[in-house]
Homo-oligomer: A and B are copies of this chain.
């Protein structure tokens, strides 16, 4: 099933078929011909071959998004969905690749699909950019020279929101708990920075920091912590860490939120079901997805395209979900 079949079926040339199917500008096709071609294509169930189109146009229609090896999360799903949505409005299709120990490297995928652009959540270094370019990408971002994506800022913002809430509840000795998973440390550092900065600007005590032990049992750490720095409220890196704190408190007869307030981050589905229900920070992946898409479009020069998109501006505003734990 090729365009030649459609041409034959409708009694015109392949050029004409291509013209009508692509609504070629500067090309005036008679309504009759147009109809014939459309009907034939319909009847034959013809669909143009994407790779062939890309080859001949010298420009693919896919964008590759490289995701880090983070645990599955609704936030990333939202990001991807939104990026897909705004890209689709510009006839660009999103292909995602999640890094991972056993996963094929993104470069192989890039070679196979020849995306017109590749985007990532973490900045690419010079070699990576060059490699993607060698595989046909016209835009690779963020590159080493680019401003980092607003993710850093987003991380900080989460910490700011956590500390702000806790301080608002009257707490002055705030603690922070890092996750055990080393893949998450850089993100956790950013969140901590937000907590730290807020505590500082509010004139609170310096924030005391602990890390989740690898075995997942925070109980001994919590006991020592309470004895030493005696935080009255803890901001956890994320909801899982917050749950570990909740569990340690439960095991130690420390009553939340009376003896200890805790706040998580991410608002995972489980957060509403903890005992007590977890107060947390919810940050949608949507604005970030929109931002990445717009960045790609701009870099591709499709920014001021004919078709205007009524997308909300990509602003990053974490929401606080107040439940019972603080």
Contact = CB atoms under 8 A, between A and B. Distances in A.
Contact of A85 (B1, B81, B103, B134): B103
Interface string A64-94: 0000000111101100111011001000011
A61 interface: yes
Contacts of A209: none
A50 B114 contact: yes
Interface stretch (A187-195, A244-252, A298-306): A244-252
Contact of A102 (B60, B73, B81): B81
A246 B269 contact: no
Interface of A: 1, 45-52, 54-55, 60-62, 71-74, 76-77, 80-82, 84-85, 88, 93-96, 98, 100, 102-104, 108-109, 111-114, 130, 134-136, 216, 239-240, 243-244, 246-247, 250, 268-270, 272-275, 277
B62 A111 contact: no
State the copy count for this chain: 2
Question: 10 smallest A-B Cβ distances: which pairs?
Answer: A51-B51, A243-B273, A72-B72, A50-B112, A270-B270, A250-B275, A85-B102, A88-B104, A93-B112, A247-B273
Contacts of A134: 1, 45-47
A45 to B, nearest CB: 5
17 contacts: A48-B111, A49-B111, A49-B114, A49-B135, A50-B114, A51-B54, A71-B74, A71-B77, A72-B73, A72-B76, A72-B77, A77-B98, A81-B103, A85-B103, A93-B108, A93-B109, A216-B272
A250 B48 CA distance: 59
B275 A246 contact: yes
Contact of A274 (B62, B84, B268, B274): B274
